[in-house]
Amino acid sequence: MSSIFNRGRRTVVLGAFSIVTGLATGVFPVHAIAQEGEPIRIGILAPLSGAGGAYGPGMIEAARKAAEFINTEAGGVLNGRKIEIVAADSETNPTAGVASARKLLDVNKVVAIGGLWSSSVALAVRPLTLERNVPILVTGTGDEVTQGDNRGLVWRFQARGSDWGAVFARAAYQNGARTASVLAQQAPAWAIMVDPFVEEFKKQGGKILDVVYYNPGQSSYRAEVEKVFSKEPNAVFLPSYLPELSAIAREVYRSGFTSRIYSNSSAADAEGAFVKNVGADVAEGINHIQSIPPASSTAYKTFAQHTGIPENTLAIFPSNVWDQVAVIALAIEKSGSADPAEFTKSILDVVNSPGDSVENPVAGLKALREGKNIAYSGAGADFEFQPTGDQLHRTYGHFIIKDGANQLKGLIQ
């Protein structure tokens, strides 16, 4: 199956792809880069343990490869200063994340912090970085991350959570569901999706039977599963982290319920961890959705080449982090400064500009040095930024698990 999606600066053609959220399951060491002069350090605060532990290694490796590409092919930034990546484990935990962020800021003297896969970690770190006037570049979805006065220092390299809810509703309705219920985890990233899902599903013409929340880490989810699934809705929207989705899916299977499940790919795929956790029989027929990179673009192919991504594989979070490093490097070059207070003012200039479209950071740096205006088209998305720091123009892939593997059903906007 193939799909074509037309939008703005790019035509995206997608065929059958596997979906991954990292590059591998091992931990990639991040080595100091050989340098001439003072390096410019970018921190990557990624989950190497905890609920997001499957995703951090690939994010860190993508950042390292982006820096290597910039240093080798473009000579770094600002007349030869090298980009150096300093990695830290957030443990998918706000307290641990803040401790690691303090070390990145106080000891490593980073000019920006990227990664930040978990919205709860990003929310905990944000006051600290705002106080230091250092930008954060996040892959978390929680709306609160970009709300309030962020002074142009918070930038999201992922779809906003409230935008996802409507996408799930349209996917379920288009797939034939006319009744739906919600079983949502109490976490910023997932709770924010519930009301938009309910509103859009009703707007499409469907009926909502129930909305139930649960707490992460419960010893059992039997009561919640019975309450929601016993009413036999056509679809159940189940935004979750991997451990909770695994436990709930097993309970649904044991109980013999047949309502279609719709969840986020970061839980229902997770580097293949979901199918490994529950088995192919339990996973069969589960739908999952994720904002995905433009796999046919030059930007994505360049990223895949330099990071070793296999052909026909969608590396979601690594491509987002590649873009984070790219945008910081381009903003530094555009502004002529490695001072965060200065270069963050140029982020919109290198992404939203009406200038030449560039699909990798090296081409962008060379164009800037020639005095050209540029519009960076990313490997993770062909995005533009809102003034709030949220991204416009995200594309979502709708996947279904068949025989233990992901199949791309189509694209949704």
**131-158: per-residue pLDDT in tens?**
999 999 999 888 999 999 999 999 999 9
- Characterise 73 by phi-psi region: left (phi > 0), alpha (psi -120 to 50), beta (else): alpha
Least trusted range by pLDDT, from 47-61, 123-137, 260-274, 356-370: 260-274
H or E stretch covering 185: strand 179-185
DSSP secondary structure code for residue 144 in this structure: G
Report pLDDT for 11.
Answer: 40
Percentage of residues in the chain with pLDDT exceeding 70?
A: 91
Residue in the block written with tokens 């820096």:
67
Q: How far apart are CA 140 and CA 127, in angstroms?
A: 16
The answer to whether the pTM exceeds 0.75 is yes
31 has a pLDDT exceeding 70: no
For the chain, what are the domain ranges?
Answer: 3-159+294-392, 161-291+399-412
Contact 393, 376 (CB under 8 A): no
From 3.40.50.300, 3.40.50.2300, 3.50.7.10, 1.10.10.10, which CATH number describes the 161-291+399-412 domain?
3.40.50.2300
So what CATH class is 3-159+294-392? Answer: alpha beta
Report pLDDT for 56.
Answer: 94
Q: Give the SS3 label for residue 245.
A: helix
